């Protein structure tokens, strides 16, 4: 993996608003080995977010995606003709 980091790819996710708890529940499925099929994905513990935390997470994901998309548009470093 990248510089000694063990990275588990996300295979899916589910969100559910629970009104009586005033939480957004988030369940993430992930692959723990390169040989695992999507239908064998493991589930992370169920996570609860407040509405504000859900908005902040959404915004952080959007900014990160925009950053990555911006990197793809730049020309590669190196000699110019």
Q: What is the pLDDT of residues 2-38, one digit of tens each?
A: 578 889 999 999 999 999 999 999 999 999 998 999 9
The pTM (predicted TM-score) of the whole model is 0.74
Q: What is the mean pLDDT of residues 60-76?
A: 87
Give me 45's structure tokens: 């513990």
Burial of 52-66, coded b for 16+ CB within 10 Å and e otherwise, reads eebeeeeeeeeeeee
Angle at 54 between CA 5 and CA 10, to 5 degrees: 35
Quote the pLDDT of residue 77. Answer: 65
Local structure of 72: helix, strand or coil: helix
The whole-angstrom separation of Cα 14 and Cα 16 is 7
Higher-confidence residue of 5 and 41: namely 41
Q: What sign for the dihedral angle of Cα 67, 73, 78, 80?
A: negative
Quote the pLDDT of residue 74. Answer: 67
């Amino acid at each position: 993996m990248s510089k000694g980091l063990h990275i588990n790819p996300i295979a899916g996710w589910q969100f559910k608003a629970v009104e009586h708890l005033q939480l957004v529940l988030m369940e993430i499925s992930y692959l723990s080995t390169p040989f695992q099929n999507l239908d064998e994905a493991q589930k992370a513990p169920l996570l609860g977010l407040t509405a504000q935390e859900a908005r902040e997470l959404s915004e952080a994901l959007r900014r990160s995606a925009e950053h990555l998309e911006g990197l793809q548009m730049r020309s590669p470093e190196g000699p110019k003709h």
